[in-house]
Amino acid sequence: MGWADLVADRSARRWLQGIAGRLESGWPALAEDPALWSAFEQHLSAAVHAIRCESELVPRTEPVTDLVLLAGHAHDVWTRAVDNGWEPPRVPADWNQREWTGLRILACYRLASLQPHGPRLTGAAAVVRPRIPKRVR
């Protein structure tokens, strides 16, 4: 891994860590609600599929890591949602199966945490252990 890769991974990790606190209420919500958990698992699979497609279908002069792809996907989702007036749920009770944006970003964060230079899980996120699709392990 070259210096440019390390810088890109560091930037991706820092962005993900920056939004992690705003979504922290999602982890206890996931731990308590099986229906929400099911929706989260669908987002895990969809995020894996999205970065696989990005990796395979978008030509690049230099390859990028899955961490960068996951952060890019989460950033695109976040930006589009905020531009449309979305705000992250503040407390666990605010989370539900229709919280598409929050669940997708949590899924990206969880998958990114599995990457070699990914963000570290802390607090409630470290306790929640989803079944992770094999492609991103």
Sketch the domain layout of the chain as residue ranges.
24-136
Residue 86 has pLDDT above 80, yes or no: yes
Q: Are 9 and 65 in contact (CB under 8 A)?
A: yes
Give pLDDT tens digits for 37-70: 999 999 999 999 999 988 887 776 777 889 999 9
pTM over 0.75: yes
Q: Which residue intervals of the chain are DSSP H helices?
A: 3-20, 26-32, 34-57, 66-83, 100-112, 123-127
Amino acid at 88: P
pLDDT given at position 134: 52
Which of the pair, 76 or 134, is modelled with greater confidence? 76
